[in-house]
Structure 1
Amino acid sequence: MKVRCDNPARTFTAIFDDVGTVSNIGGVVIENANAKLTCAPASVQGFVWERTEVDVEGHGVFTVTRTGPDGTGMIVVELE
């Protein structure tokens, strides 16, 4: 999924999980309460995240609420 942000201006690729997306991980069903992006750290290096808006191709504009590592070397960006 292509994501565009203006702070600084950049377009990058990320995995987008929309609100209500259901995943089955090892027999456990998990439903996303909030939309989120998962991406490589280099894709978002230098971004000013607090309350920044991102445009997710085909899904709309979201506000970043929190970011952090996912434990596998990727970054999770929580959206509202």
Structure 2
Amino acid sequence: MVVRVVSNAWQESIEQMIQARKDYLEKFGAGALDYVILGEPIPEKLTDLSEATKKLRDAIRTGVPLDNTPPNPDMPEIIY
């Protein structure tokens, strides 16, 4: 994956997030993040990315996976 960013802080945060994601998937399995919502799809602030990384790291540390419940097919009006 190639990521180009404006600042070193963003680059470091993205690298930490990628590593946390890799570690999480190694611990909980390949599909463990399929339906997990960590935050906004396009983080606007550096803290958004840091909070998502923290969620992953906390789950790894405690051994409790994040909620990976698939969307409810009986609610078609909600777009996932």
Same fold (TM over 0.5): no
Q: TM-score interval w.r.t. the shorter chain?
A: under 0.3
Structure ID, larger Rg: 2
What TM-score comes out, normalization by structure 2 length? Answer: 0.22
Calculate the TM-score normalised by the size of structure 1.
Answer: 0.22
